[in-house]
Structure 1
Amino acid sequence: MKQLVKELTALHGPSGFEQPVVKFILEKLQNKVDDVRVDSHGNIIARKIGQTKGPKVVITAHMDEVGFIVRKIDENGLLRFEQLGGHDERVLPAQKVQVRTKTGYLTGVVGTISAHYRKFEQDSKVKKIRESYIDIGAESRQDAEALGVSLGDPVTWQPSFDFLGDERTGKVVGKGFDDRAGCAVILQTIEELKEFAGEVIAIFAVQEEIGLRGAKIAIESVEADLAVAVDTTAASDTPETVQDDIIQIGKGTGIKVMDFSLVAHPAVKERLINVAEENSIDFQYEIFPGIGTDGGAIHLANSGIPTGVLSIPSRYTHSATEVISLKDLEATKDVLKHFILSLKEEDQFTFI
Structure 2
Amino acid sequence: MDKVLKTLTELHGPSGYEQEVSYYIQEEMRSVAEDVRVDGIGNVTARIKGEKPGPTVLVTAHMDEVGFIVKKIESNGLLRFEKLGGHDDRILLAQKVRVKGRYGLKRGVIGTIPAHYQKFDEAGRVRKHHELYIDVGARSKEEVEKLGIDVGSTITWASELEYLGDEETGRYVGKSLDDRAGCAVLMNLMQSLQDQQFAGEVIALFTVQEEVGLRGAQVGMAQVDCDVAIALDATVTSDTPEPLLDDTLRLGDGAGVKVLDMSLIAHPTVKEHFIQLAQEEEIPYQPELFTGIGTDGGAVALANKGVPTGVLSIPSRYAHAPVEVIDLEDLKAVEKLLLAFIKNNDEQTSFAF
TM range (shorter): over 0.9
Using the TM superposition, give the Cα deviation of residue 87 of structure 1 relative to its aligned residue in structure 2, in angstroms. Answer: 0.2
Residue number among 296, 307, 332 corresponding to 2:309 in the alignment: 307
Q: Is residue 145 of structure 1 aligned with residue 149 of structure 2?
A: no
Which residue of structure 2 aligns with residue 32 of structure 1?
A: 32
1:259-285, CA deviations, whole angstroms, 9 ceiling, x for partnerless residues?
010100011111111111111110000
Give 3-state SS (helix, strand or coil) of 2:319's partner.
Answer: coil
Give 3-state SS (helix, strand or coil) of 2:173's partner.
Answer: strand
Which residue of structure 1 aligns with residue 106 of structure 2?
A: 106
- RMSD across aligned positions (CA): 0.7
Give 3-state SS (helix, strand or coil) of 2:90's partner.
Answer: helix
1:163-222, CA deviations, whole angstroms, 9 ceiling, x for partnerless residues?
111111111100000000000010011111121100001000000000000000000110
Which residue of structure 1 aligns with residue 58 of structure 2?
A: 58
Give 3-state SS (helix, strand or coil) of 1:29's partner.
Answer: helix
Give 3-state SS (helix, strand or coil) of 2:286's partner.
Answer: strand
User: How far apart, in 1, do the equivalents of 2:100 and 2:276 lie?
Assistant: 45
Using the TM superposition, give the Cα deviation of residue 159 of structure 1 relative to its aligned residue in structure 2, in angstroms. Answer: 3.1
User: How far apart, in 1, do the equivalents of 2:197 and 2:138 lie?
Assistant: 56
Partners of 1:11 and 1:159 within 8 A in 2: no
Using the TM superposition, give the Cα deviation of residue 24 of structure 1 relative to its aligned residue in structure 2, in angstroms. Answer: 0.8
Structure 2 runs not aligned, ≥5 long: none
Partners of 2:189 and 2:335 within 8 A in 1: yes
Which residue of structure 1 aligns with residue 229 of structure 2?
A: 227
Q: Is residue 295 of structure 1 aligned with residue 300 of structure 2?
A: no
**AA in 1 matched with 2:223:** S
Equivalent runs, 1:203-214 vs 2, <5 Å: 203-214=205-216
- TM-score after normalising by structure 1: 0.99
User: How far apart, in 2, do the equivalents of 1:314 and 1:211 lie?
Assistant: 20
Give 3-state SS (helix, strand or coil) of 2:118's partner.
Answer: helix
1:263-310, CA deviations, whole angstroms, 9 ceiling, x for partnerless residues?
000111111111111111100000000000000000001110000000
User: How far apart, in 2, do the equivalents of 1:27 and 1:326 lie?
Assistant: 25
Equivalent runs, 1:237-256 vs 2, <5 Å: 237-256=239-258
Partners of 2:79 and 2:135 within 8 A in 1: yes
User: How far apart, in 2, do the equivalents of 1:320 and 1:119 lie?
Assistant: 28
Identity rate, percent: 55
Partners of 1:226 and 1:349 within 8 A in 2: yes
Q: Is residue 70 of structure 1 aligned with residue 100 of structure 2?
A: no
**AA in 2 matched with 1:320:** P
Equivalent runs, 1:1-352 vs 2, <5 Å: 1-193=1-193, 194-351=196-353
Give 3-state SS (helix, strand or coil) of 2:239's partner.
Answer: coil
Partners of 1:2 and 1:326 within 8 A in 2: no
Using the TM superposition, give the Cα deviation of residue 31 of structure 1 relative to its aligned residue in structure 2, in angstroms. Answer: 2.2
Using the TM superposition, give the Cα deviation of residue 117 of structure 1 relative to its aligned residue in structure 2, in angstroms. Answer: 1.2
Partners of 2:171 and 2:326 within 8 A in 1: yes
Give 3-state SS (helix, strand or coil) of 2:270's partner.
Answer: helix
**AA in 2 matched with 1:319:** A
**AA in 2 matched with 1:345:** E
User: How far apart, in 2, do the equivalents of 1:75 and 1:271 lie?
Assistant: 59
Structure 1 runs not aligned, ≥5 long: none
Give 3-state SS (helix, strand or coil) of 2:338's partner.
Answer: helix
Which has the larger displacement, 162-171 or 245-254?
A: 162-171
**AA in 1 matched with 2:339:** K
Using the TM superposition, give the Cα deviation of residue 113 of structure 1 relative to its aligned residue in structure 2, in angstroms. Answer: 0.7
**AA in 1 matched with 2:106:** L
User: How far apart, in 1, do the equivalents of 2:164 and 2:135 lie?
Assistant: 28
Give 3-state SS (helix, strand or coil) of 1:64's partner.
Answer: coil
Give 3-state SS (helix, strand or coil) of 2:263's partner.
Answer: coil
User: How far apart, in 2, do the equivalents of 1:77 and 1:188 lie?
Assistant: 44
Using the TM superposition, give the Cα deviation of residue 30 of structure 1 relative to its aligned residue in structure 2, in angstroms. Answer: 2.0
1:300-352, CA deviations, whole angstroms, 9 ceiling, x for partnerless residues?
0111000000000000000010000011011111111111111111111011x
User: How far apart, in 2, do the equivalents of 1:152 and 1:87 lie?
Assistant: 18
Partners of 2:98 and 2:105 within 8 A in 1: yes
1:21-44, CA deviations, whole angstroms, 9 ceiling, x for partnerless residues?
001111211221110000000000
User: How far apart, in 2, do the equivalents of 1:122 and 1:281 lie?
Assistant: 51
User: How far apart, in 2, do the equivalents of 1:279 and 1:260 lie?
Assistant: 30
